[in-house]
Amino acid sequence: MPLEAEIKAEALKLGFVVSGIARPAQPETFPSYQSWIAEDCHAGMAYLARPESLSARADPKSLLPGSRSIICVGLPYPPPETPEPDAQTGKGNIAAYALQPDYHDVMTAKLKQLGQRLTELAGRPVSFRACADSAPILEKDFARQAGLGWIGRNSLLSAPGLGTYLVLGELLTDLELTPDAPLSGDPCRDCRLCVEACPTQALRPNRSVDARRCLSYLSIEHRGAIPAELRPKLGPRVFGCDTCQSVCPLNQYVTTAAAAPALISAFPDLIEEFMLDEAAWKARYKGTPVLRARFAGYRRNLAIAMANTRAVGAAQALQTALEEELPADLRETFLWALAQLS
């Protein structure tokens, strides 16, 4: 069996549902990425625009000197749960991927296992570096090059039969491996459902996302107040957004099983969550991506969702919270939410 086939078989054993190989050359989308940065579409994620970050994305070999191949893999997570029509009164919504154990930890551990197996499979010491959404690498482009799927209009990689419900990882290695070919065709060519469904019109014509308007960015990465005009668009969302995936025709028949059982509910009770102190909140969401929002950011999201859903008891909860010492931006958000309820 060729070494490439052995590596892919090993990846399958580790739980990766797709795998492929690409060359560590400058990705085709790097010029578009530069334009995206220049247009400030990265919003408050200043680390994306650092010179060392840009140079690494232009030259992935800098991440592992002597690298000759990139092994690209994908781990599945279940599609979003569909609530009963009247079951969401006073309930928030957490994006599907965040219900699982933090993918950074899971992906890193599995990639390192695969990297350690390379030495045995190759019969010589092999250098490798695991990348799990933490290294400056244009992972969707390399996944596309490796034949894992297509990049859709929502900017996400869609794999045949698996859709976009995947998290991606890369293993740079000094092994000289035969690269795979990209998939032909473009299943998104005549479809714009995700573009039209995006609550804030954050999807750009070149299949990138304007983070300044993206509800996933605003509810997770953004620090401080969310622009007032975008707050009603959040609806019940308290962490992330699945809209552009939920409407995608390529996702309609995906039944991917979880690699692990859900750790938390997709539909938390807004008032109960709002009453948690920071220690209780951290304990509840330990080991999940939700901690990425930080306590202040999550309370901000809860207040907006409480106003948007007109949750019973929200006004009293907000009034009580306003008696606390609060950062100015959080106090402003709570006052805004209270005003909407009035």
Active site residues: 133
Cα gap 229→232, rounded to integer Å: 7
Cα gap 27→328, rounded to integer Å: 42
Placement of tokens 């950074």 in the chain: 104
Task: Tell me the chain's radius of gyration from C-alpha atoms.
Answer: 21
Closest listed residue to residue 208, CA positions, set 251, 284, 164, 151: 151
285 CB contacts (<8 Å, ≥6 apart)? Answer: 264, 291
Q: 164 to each of 24, 154, 210, how far by Cα in Å?
A: 24, 10, 19
Cα gap 80→236, rounded to integer Å: 14
CB-based contact 172:129 (threshold 8 Å): yes
Say how far residue 122 (Cα) sits from the centre of its chain. 33
Cβ neighbours, 10 Å, residue 66: 9
Q: Would you say how long the chain is, in residues?
A: 342
Cα gap 151→141, rounded to integer Å: 8
Cα gap 4→21, rounded to integer Å: 8
Burial label for 183, CB within 10 Å (0-12, 13-18, 19+), is middle
